[in-house]
Structure 1
Amino acid sequence: MSASHLQVTVGPFVFEARFELEKAPETCRVFQTFLPFRNQTIHSRWSGEAVWVPLGDFQFGAGFENHTCHPSRGDILLYPGGYSETELLFAYGSSHFASKMGALAGNHFLTLTKGQEQLEAMGKMVLWQGAQPIAFELV
């Protein structure tokens, strides 16, 4: 399966994102094998304006590539585990990826291409209303 775009839905908010195929080819390839991917997202505890999907000991099977501690607004990272639990981080504003262990670097493998104007409202909804369903689906 090879696709360059997917739809990301958080509660009532719908976004479109592109895979960072050149910068994070292994992460993109592995994540595509799990599509459609559905879970719950909660507001980040240490990473600033971001929501995250905690995945515990789940192993995606990808190592580190194109990793950063400083995602831009609309970037989605996969932290493959190690110092902290496996997780997805979706930055909606100013963010510095971290955990109780300190700074983390996650693989930047998705970048929003549509819906950026909804990011602040999405983040505030997750912050004030709690966990929301999140879905990643091919378009």
Structure 2
Amino acid sequence: MTTIKISAGGYEFLAEAHPDAPQTVAAFLGLLPYTQKLIHVRWSGEGCWVPLGEYRLLLNEEPIGFENHTSHPSVGDVLFYPGPYSETEIIMAYGACSFSSKLGQLAGNHFLTITHGKENLRALGVKTLWEGAQDVRFELA
């Protein structure tokens, strides 16, 4: 099992790669270490996201599509939304979350599950809500 360390807002988390999203995981591993900005979600409830605009995650030069996509991530689930109906993004649920955009309901590939540090997800979410964008880094543990 592949373990990813996620550092954001002064908190550290460990996440396991989800076996039902092998293409998303493989393509994402190729980006590591990956640093971005994490902001609070706009319409999805209790979550934080990394907006990626028109970016397309590729595996063997082919865009990643939908694998084990869901609109209702649980606390600690990390989803990758490949587009095309809204911008590409990574979303991380810290509470009640229903993944959507200004265009309506979306579904993302559940590719990581936070297994350690989960108790700090709400604190990260609240910090991001009230203090603004936080640096986030994904790397192999």
Whether the TM-score (by the shorter chain) exceeds 0.5 is yes
TM-score by length of 2: 0.95
After superposition, the CA RMSD in angstroms is: 0.7
Identity, % of aligned positions: 51
Which string of whole-angstrom CA distances, capped at 9 and with x for unpartnered residues, describes residues 43-79 of structure 1? 0001100000000000102110010000000000000
Are 2:38 and 1:36 equivalent residues in the alignment? no
Residues 98-126 of structure 1: CA distance to partner in whole angstroms, max 9, x if unpaired? 00000000000000010011011110000
Residue in 2 that maps onto 1:135: 137
1:16 to 1, 14, 17: 14
How many matched pairs?
A: 136
2:58 is the counterpart of 1:55: no
Q: Which runs of 5+ in 1 are unaligned?
A: none
State the distance in 2 between where 1:27 and 1:87 align.
12
Secondary structure (helix, strand or coil) at the match of 1:41 reads strand
Match of 2:61 in 1: none
TM-score, structure 1 length as denominator?
A: 0.96
Q: Secondary structure at the match of 1:63?
A: coil
Q: What amino acid is the match of 2:79?
A: L
| 4+ runs deviating over 2 angstroms | none
Aligned: 1:65 with 2:63: no
Separation (CA, whole Å) in 2 of partners of 1:99 and 1:109:
20
CA–CA distance in 2 between the matches of 1:128 and 1:30? 32
Residue 75 (structure 1) aligns with: 77
Q: CA deviation at 1:11?
A: 1.5
